[in-house]
Amino acid sequence: MPEGDTVYRAARLLDEALAGRTVTRTDFRVPALAEVDLAGEPVHSVASRGKHLLMRIGGVVVHSHLKMEGEWRLLRAGQPWRRPAWQARAIIDVPDASAVGFDLGTLELFGAAEEAERLAYLGPDLLGPDWDAEEAVRRLASSPETPIGVALAEQRNLAGLGNVYVNEVCFLRGILPARPVAEVELAPLVALASRVIRANRDRAVRTTTGDTHRGRQLWVYGRGGEACRRCGTLIEHGRLGRNAVEQRESWWCPNCQRPRAAGPPEIS
């Protein structure tokens, strides 16, 4: 599932291949951008902010969000896509390379001068050079009745965490995702979230357990009905959200994550 670390790696790969080069062709396959042509424009940089990917080309920013299924692939000239052409939403060519965005949840262009204002609503970026843990704690604390599993996923509080990290970080701190923010020690939780996502930003296989073998990478996410890797209790599964419409999948160990656990579980 694309989260902040996935977008960070994609942006870094694209930046290494595209930055400093001139666009030879663009093909935006969404109605609003069908007539846009950036051929001849220089690629200044490609960067991420939370889950958002920003290609700065000429005087504009190509802004995309992967949502659940999106992906950017960097291909050599003539290399097969290995995904159906109808899934492509954006194609940006430079000499000898092509960046293809598949199933992008969001794709838009705006002027470079608008970037800061467009993304001003986002909280501190966990993987950004300006990461501010104190500000993230302040924003989380501003909604004391919100379940912590909901608050952590809210990009206005801190940018980059998705459902995988939310569930895993709650487990590692021994906190039920449904516990209200007011009952959570926020500073250690935010510090842990930063350490975990930063530990994964440079590797293709995400892990919170320290084990990168298939099926062993995560503590609770997606493991409903399976035994907790720490205590053997069956992992439980439910849905959590601010209302009946905004619901996220949630997993937890009822033994390691008690309503008012004294602290994080022992992690061997």
Residues labelled catalytic: 2-3, 51, 248
SS3 217: coil
Query: How many angstroms separate the CA atoms of 66 and 2, rounded?
Result: 7
Nearest to 74 by CA among 51, 112, 43: 43
Report the Cα–Cα distance between both ends of the chain, in Å, rounded. 26
Q: How far is CA 57 from CA 23, 161, 231, in A?
A: 8, 27, 51
Q: How far is CA 10 from CA 2, 22, 58, 133, in A?
A: 10, 19, 20, 24
> How far is C-alpha 248 from the chain's CA centre?
15
CA angle 243, 167, 129 (to 5 degrees): 100
Query: How many angstroms separate the CA atoms of 120 and 188, rounded?
Result: 25
